[in-house]
Structure 1
């Protein structure tokens, strides 16, 4: 994870699947760069208006010394007789220009619902690849998008037939040319995303000659490390299955076509959780307007979606922030184990509310500013919001009562390491204590003040959690923690 990740102050925290009605799982809030870094990155990309600059040739070209031109071989980007090769004449530029055109053609074909145009430049000899691209087209047509377009993003690797330098003007012997290039599918789901988010693919194409429009011969996901944000977002639900989609006013549910009936049954439950979550927020504008939810009963898919294979096998769900093309977070994708929604009718709405709370506030994330806000705030806030309309459960009070009785309650909110351990009992204590900390703040200062405190802290307004507590509640942090510890002992 990049050091300037705006979510570095929210370390990954996981919680196991459990039958406890309040139990909530992992919220992954990582994989983003700082706004300063992003601004620099996107500023550079915005300026790469030509294939020449996209390939890194944006420095002024200094012509060769005429007296030396004949005594040395031409360098990259130079003619054989000396002098720079015009950008448009370079092999790499020709190829990239054609892939730019291909990206535009496929974007227009998707918008217009023209499957034939979408598949026109796909290698017809590779029937499996054609079928996969046809399925992708059909899946994407089922999803409501405000934005849906492909754009080349660089990281171009060009191989010529004769091994010549792709930065030279190509002879007939240089062709055909094979090229790999990162291509972002920039998309914004209607009513869900606050800005476009890129899913990055690697297209492989073959260009027969200097005027051939090029044929797409392969497409796979890019590596996270090869993207500017450190997050490729591949595979999405539409890359894995023949997709079923259910739309409600505030949710878009996606899953396998064979699970369409289950998806329909859970759609109303998800919409109810969305309505509650949106209505419970008191922290101002800038949050997600709705939610994208992927449901799967396949544990293999659960860990594979969006390259989330680091999610623990015992997790029931997670909310994953998606880097935006022009902002730290453009949207969030939630993934939930469908069995968890059908196995416990009490647990299911809390699970959905918890993950939706993470998704709701994710767009508020500001650039990394050295904030030391702890995991207890992220997880405690989501837990509290999920159950703010009901009293504390016996499960929570019994769990913390045992901790206090055993002399293991130190009177402090849980450290980040308590959320990261493999000890399930310690993780359970951590989530319960985090919940109690935020609940105490809400009971003492009110929900609106707590939401504002969370929003400002999450946006990076404060350098430390103590600074945030002092500014938000006009009290000494140590005294606040002492009062909270006394309240915990009394409450349980």
Structure 2
């Protein structure tokens, strides 16, 4: 089953990532920060220009193997924007004279030069000899809300299409052509659900093996998760698929589901479990790609859920992280059937307007239903649940 995890870190007015300003430091620290960022700017120029030697030149020799792998991954992803900003000032490393730590936020884009940058916050380590700071390590962004990005810790093989970018490890490179074709098809379907009218410039999909699933974006997903979308700033959501739990027949539906999250969700993310049914129901609706309701694979799980374990309220159907597979499948099915009923009654556009009001504008379903549908939500909630019971048999 798919899932969703969201975050946002907005850029500042100049288009650079917002940096912390709580610690202005001493004049010496501020000057040192400027020299470090200047080195990172040189590295960015080299990255964008395809200059591997220049990218590594700002670093000490011991740091270059890891940085070389990062450079290769970022080049494979066709990095088009890379800007660093200091978060605060450098901090001396205790007991190691001349060594410093500086937290930086990087704004980045892949493929598209003019995008609103996504962001990642990471630690950098430096050794200062004379006036020149030399990079000794770049730490993965473990403390970043979205977690460690795949390009920070893994070698990547990448395929780029017109609407999607698909990346995986070199060991699974042979799967890229098929995955890209499926992602391109799913992207065309997901574009319909961009509720703000602007689909993502590219959908970025990472196909994770067993080790990568536990490492990328922090790992630790509920055991029933087959894929998820994670907000990475700039109004963008990366998608991760779990290779270990996917059957070949399920990839298309899952891609449509997750890319619809990437298209439909707001930049600031969502965290209201009461609207889980609507968020996941819309993605499930997109995932089914117009198939008849009686062919929906989760109807048996919905029937089990209706027999016990659910109060009958849509705002209380979200499963717990440790829920059984049947409970999870039933919850997704309820969301799908409720959204399907609203679409059948009011049409896709009005349901997207309702989604925008509830998920983007964070208005109550009661207020949104009155405005968008012209009907009271209390009655619509009952109608949706009645439809769920009828459709599940």
The TM-score normalised by the length of structure 2 is 0.88
Q: Corresponding residue for 2:166?
A: 253
1:377 partnered with 2:298: no
Match of 1:151 among 79, 85, 91: 85
Q: CA deviation at 1:424?
A: 2.8
The answer for the alignment partner of 1:274 in structure 2 is 187
CA distance in 1, matches of 2:269, 2:261: 17
Which protein has the bigger helix share?
2
1:213 aligns with 2:132: yes
Question: Does residue 1:320 correspond to 2:221, yes or no?
Answer: no
Aligned residue for 2:5, secondary structure, equals: coil
CA distance change for structure 1 residues 485 and 408 in 2, over 3 Å: closer, same or farther?
Answer: same
3-state SS of 1:26 partner: strand
Alignment match, 2:357 = 456
Size of the aligned set, in residue pairs, is: 391
Gaps of 5+ in 2: none
Q: Which residue of 2 aligns with 1:64?
A: none
Per-residue deviation, 1:290: 2.6
Structure 1's unaligned 5+ residue stretches are: 1-23, 58-76, 78-86, 163-175, 225-229, 325-329
> After the TM superposition, which residues 72-151 of structure 1 pair with which residues of structure 2 at under 5 Å, given as runs?
87=27, 90=28, 92-124=29-61, 126=62, 129-151=63-85
Contact 1:95 1:207 (C-alpha < 8 Å) held by counterparts: no
* Contact 2:337 2:387 (C-alpha < 8 Å) held by counterparts: no
Tell me the SS of whatever aligns to 1:475: coil
Report deviation, 1:460.
Answer: 1.9
Question: Do the aligned residues in 1 keep the contact of 2:127 with 2:133 (CA within 8 Å)?
Answer: yes
Q: Given that residues 192 and 292 in structure 1 are in contact (C-alpha distance below 8 angstroms), is that contact kept between their aligned partners in structure 2?
A: no
Q: Secondary structure of the residue that 1:374 maps to in structure 2?
A: helix
The whole-number CA distance in structure 1 between the counterparts of 2:178 and 2:17 is 48
Quick one: which of 9, 21, 26 aligns to 2:3?
26
1:422-437 alignment, distance < 5 Å: 422-437=323-338
Larger Rg: 1
Once the 2 structures are TM-superposed, how far is the Cα of residue 153 of structure 1 from its aligned partner? 2.4
Q: Is the 8 A contact 2:222 2:321 kept in 1?
A: no
Partner residue, 1:350 = 253
- Residue 196, structure 1, aligned to residue 108, structure 2: no
User: The residue matched to 2:121 in structure 1 has which SS?
Assistant: strand
Q: CA separation in 1, counterparts of 2:41 and 2:348?
A: 48
- Secondary structure of the residue that 1:214 maps to in structure 2? strand
- The alignment's TM-score, normalised by the length of structure 1, stands at 0.72
SS of residue in 1 equivalent to 2:314: coil
The structure whose RCO (Cα within 8 Å, separation 6+) is larger is 1
SS in 2 for 1:56: coil
The alignment's C-alpha RMSD in Å is 3.2
Change (3 A) 1:413 1:388: farther
Name segments (4+ residues, structure 1) moved above 6 Å.
Answer: 43-49
The answer (yes or no) to whether the contact 1:104–1:151 under 8 Å persists in 2 is no
